[in-house]
Structure 1
Amino acid sequence: MRRRIFVLAILGAAVLLAFGSSGRAASAKLARKIIEYINTDAGSDREAVAKQAILDMKPKPEDIAEAFSGRKLKKYKQIEIEEVDVPGTEKYYSIIIPRGYNGRKKFPMVVCLHGGGSTSGKGYEGWWWVHGQLQDYLVMAPTVGQSHWWKPQEKKILLREIRHALLNFAVDPDRVCRGGFPTGGAGTGAIGRRHPHHCAALGPAAGAPRGETGADMDTRLFENLTNTYMLIQHGSKDNPEVSRLAEHRLKKIPGMKDRFKYIEYEGVGHEHPMGKKIEYKSIMDGKRKSLTQAQDAADFAKFIKKKKRTPLPKEVIFITKGPNDLESYWFDVEAATYVARVEARAEGNEIRLTTKNIAAITVYLHPKLVDMGKQVKIIIDKKEVFRGIPQKSIETALETLKRDCDASRVFLWKKRFDLTSGGEKEKPDGEKKNSG
Structure 2
Amino acid sequence: MKILNLRTILLGIVLFSFNFVSFGQKLASGPQVLTFHSDVDDTEQPYGLYLPKNYNAKKKYPLVVMLHGAGSNHRLALRRVFGKSNAEGESDVEASRYFPEWKDVDYIVISSFARGTMGYQGVAEKDVMDMVADAKKRFSIDENRTYLTGLSMGGGGTMWIGLSYPDMWAAIAPVCPAPPGGTLELVPNAINFPVYFFQGDADPAVKVDSTRKWVQRFKDAGVQVEYTEYPGVKHDSWVNAYKDEFIFDWFAKFKRNPYPDHVRFAATQYKHNKSYWVTLDEFTPGTTALIDAKFTTKNRLEISTKGLKTFTLNLTDHPSFKSKSPLELVINGQTIRAEAGATLTLTQSGDAWAVNTLNTLASAKKRGAEGPMSEAIADRHVYVYGTGGSPSQDELAKRRAEAQKAMEWSTYRGDFLGRVMVFPRLLSDKEVRPSDIESSNLILFGTKETNSLIEKYSDKLPVSLKAAAEGYGLAYVFPVDNRYILVNSGLPWWTLSDNPNAPTRQNTPAPMNVLGRFQDFVLFKGTINNVVSGGRFNNDWTLPNTEVDKMKASGVVVFK
Normalised to the residue count of structure 2, the TM-score between the two structures is 0.50
Specify the alignment match of 2:311 in structure 1.
361
Specify the alignment match of 2:530 in structure 1.
none
Which amino acid letter does the alignment assign opposite residue 276 of structure 2?
Answer: Y
Give distance in 2, aligned partners of 1:106 and 1:112. 19
Is 1:111 the counterpart of 2:65 in the alignment?
yes
Which structure exhibits the higher relative contact order, with contacts defined as CA atoms closer than 8 Å and separated by 6 or more residues? 1
Which amino acid letter does the alignment assign opposite residue 139 of structure 1?
Answer: V
Give distance in 2, aligned partners of 1:114 and 1:167. 23
Specify the alignment match of 1:229 in structure 2.
194
Deviation string 1:289-340 (CA, Å, 9 cap, x unpaired) is xxxxx65564423321231111111011111224432111111103523011
Q: 2:267 aligns with which of 313, 316, 320?
A: 320
Give distance in 2, aligned partners of 1:152 and 1:385. 39
Which amino acid letter does the alignment assign opposite residue 111 of structure 1?
Answer: V
Q: Is the 8 A contact 2:80 2:242 kept in 1?
A: no
Change (3 A) 1:386 1:104: farther
Deviation string 1:107-153 (CA, Å, 9 cap, x unpaired) is 11100101112124652123326474662110011232134444234
Which amino acid letter does the alignment assign opposite residue 236 of structure 2?
Answer: E
Q: How many residues align?
A: 307
Displacement of 1:192 in angstroms is 1.3
Change (3 A) 1:267 1:130: closer
Deviation string 1:328-354 (CA, Å, 9 cap, x unpaired) is 111110352301110101231223322
Specify the alignment match of 2:144 in structure 1.
174
% identical equivalent positions: 24
Specify the alignment match of 1:341 in structure 2.
290
Q: State which structure, 1 or 2, has the greater radius of gyration over its C-alpha atoms.
A: 2
Secondary structure at the aligned position of 1:146 is classed as coil
Q: 2:343 aligns with which of 414, 418, 424?
A: 414
Q: Is the 8 A contact 1:148 1:187 kept in 2?
A: no
Q: 1:185 aligns with which of 155, 171, 182?
A: 155
Give distance in 1, aligned partners of 2:303 and 2:193. 20
Change (3 A) 1:260 1:120: same
Which amino acid letter does the alignment assign opposite residue 170 of structure 2?
Answer: A
Which amino acid letter does the alignment assign opposite residue 34 of structure 2?
Answer: E
* Unaligned stretches of 5+ residues in structure 1: 1-73, 276-293, 391-412, 428-436
Task: Give runs of ≥4 in structure 1 deviating > 6 Å.
Answer: none
Q: Is the 8 A contact 1:84 1:92 kept in 2?
A: yes
Q: Is the 8 A contact 1:209 1:246 kept in 2?
A: no
Q: Which moved more, 1:191-200 or 1:374-383?
A: 374-383
Specify the alignment match of 1:211 in structure 2.
181
Displacement of 1:185 in angstroms is 0.8
Give distance in 2, aligned partners of 1:210 and 1:87. 23
Deviation string 1:182-228 (CA, Å, 9 cap, x unpaired) is 1111100122122221111111112234334xxxx52x532211111
Change (3 A) 1:194 1:87: closer
Change (3 A) 1:77 1:121: closer
Specify the alignment match of 2:212 in structure 1.
244
Which amino acid letter does the alignment assign opposite residue 135 of structure 2?
Answer: A
Q: Is the 8 A contact 1:197 1:328 kept in 2?
A: yes
Deviation string 1:5-51 (CA, Å, 9 cap, x unpaired) is xxxxxxxxxxxxxxxxxxxxxxxxxxxxxxxxxxxxxxxxxxxxxxx
Q: How does 1:34-433 map to 2 (within 5 A)?
A: 78-79=29-30, 81-86=32-37, 88-89=39-40, 90=43, 91-120=45-74, 123-128=77-82, 130=84, 132=102, 135-212=105-182, 218=184, 220-238=185-203, 239-254=207-222, 256=223, 259-272=224-237, 274=239, 298-337=245-284, 338-346=287-295, 347-377=297-327, 379=329, 380-383=331-334, 387-390=338-341, 413-420=342-349, 422=354, 424-426=356-358
Secondary structure at the aligned position of 1:188 is classed as helix
Q: CA RMSD in A?
A: 2.9
Which amino acid letter does the alignment assign opposite residue 221 of structure 2?
Answer: I
Give distance in 2, aligned partners of 1:343 and 1:169. 35
